[in-house]
Amino acid sequence: MNSSVRFFPVLLTLLLMMVCPAVAQEAGTSAAGSSRETKTIIQIELLSSRFGGPLVSQEWGRLFEKLGVVARIRQPVFDEEPEIKESVRGTLRLVKLIGQIDRDGSVVFPGHRFRQSEMDELREWLEELRTYGAQGAPTGKPLWGLQRAQFTEIFDSLKSPIEVELKGRPVEEALAELPLPATYPVRWHTSTEAIRETAGSVNVLQEVRGLSAGTGLSAILADLGLGYRPLRTPSGSIELVIQKLSDAPDAWPVGWEPLEGTSRLQLAPTLFQMERVGFDQVPLAEILDAIETATGVPIIIDYGQCRTHDIDPHELRVSYPTKRTAWALLVNSVVRQARLTKEFKVDEAGHTFLHVYPFVPKAATER
């Protein structure tokens, strides 16, 4: 069969998407309550290691007790890993830390490692948690050392929609077109100079029009292996600093997790419309573009990660038997054929999109 796409008559009158802007909702709630004094309670659970003895665990328990915190030591459950969680009820904030006692006797939390000789550093970190909370955005991303009110201001400033087409335009030109806040200037880190020199000749790979400025900037940069994050300057002002993702694992994310409990049907109802469709050996990028046009739901491919895994969505071809199906099921099928996966995300303004990136299976846990 010749390479072709047979999309039978499609209902292009889009339904109004009942989107729940999870991040905006939580950020607004935090800002509204910032005028009241918040009491923070820290709970710590330490996952013992099969490589370390009970004496190490007991010593950590005594050290945390000296710091005014009770640490519960227990065995990990299945593939449990360190994490930081926060919950707020009125003026009471509960920060729960789950750490891992490593084989070298140190204790590991997300983004932090402490030895028993580093009690001053541990004490300082616990004080920061009491002051700022878990410093986690709704998806667990750090607040980059900012107070929650500062984070909310930056987050809100990145909600402006991108109103111009940027696909195919030079990256340098596209960044200048983004509705980014003048109060938070963008600065390229010195480590990105070689990549920045190519920004005038490398084009934006996908359309981000309709997304908010914050998510659009993340998507454009991710295709180059870059990201950005807010950083405070010595003068106290805040910049949006572009860095290599390898140097900035806490970069501003390409979208945020939807509000817990929101169904996919609520997030993107047009993706669940039934249509008759079929094609044979068509480039994945063309199929995803067609689905985006038919449903009105943006589909953002992480081309940077795809390159890392030797996946080219423009060259890799996919097929689907002719039948009546929902767009969401079609997306699932074609991305799996390409060794990719997808997530429902929302941008800073609460607009839904699909984020497509390589599927990386979790490593098998040791028995």
Q: For the segment 270-284, what is each residue's pLDDT rounded down to a tens digit?
A: 999 999 999 999 999
Measured between alpha carbons, how far is 3 from 148 in angstroms, rounded to an integer? Answer: 52
Taking alpha carbons only, the member of 189, 359, 199, 211 closest to residue 296 is 211
Q: Which of 101-110, 127-136, 180-189, 306-315 has the lowest mean pLDDT?
A: 127-136
Is the pLDDT at 36 greater than 70? The verdict is no
Residue that wins the pLDDT comparison between 235 and 263: 263
Cα distances from 129 to residues 31, 40, 45, 77, 331, in angstroms, run 18, 8, 15, 25, 41
Specify burial of residue 317 (Cβ count, 10 A radius: 0-12, 13-18, 19+).
Answer: middle
Residue that wins the pLDDT comparison between 185 and 93: 185
Residues facing 186 on adjacent strands:
240
Residue that wins the pLDDT comparison between 124 and 334: 334
Taking alpha carbons only, the member of 237, 178, 253, 251 closest to residue 208 is 178
How does residue 50 score in pLDDT terms, banded at 50, 70 and 90?
low
Whether the Cβ atoms of residue 312 and residue 367 lie closer than 8 Å to each other: no
CB neighbours of 39 closer than 8 A, spacing ≥ 6?
91, 92, 93
Q: What is the pLDDT of residue 86?
A: 81
The pLDDT tens digits of the residues spanning 190-243 come to: 999 999 999 999 999 999 999 999 999 999 999 999 999 998 876 778 999 999
The pLDDT tens digits of the residues spanning 289-338 come to: 999 999 999 999 999 999 999 999 999 999 999 999 999 999 999 999 99
DSSP 161: B
Q: Indicate the average pLDDT of the chain.
A: 84
- Cα angle for residues 322, 327, 329 (degrees, 5° grid): 80
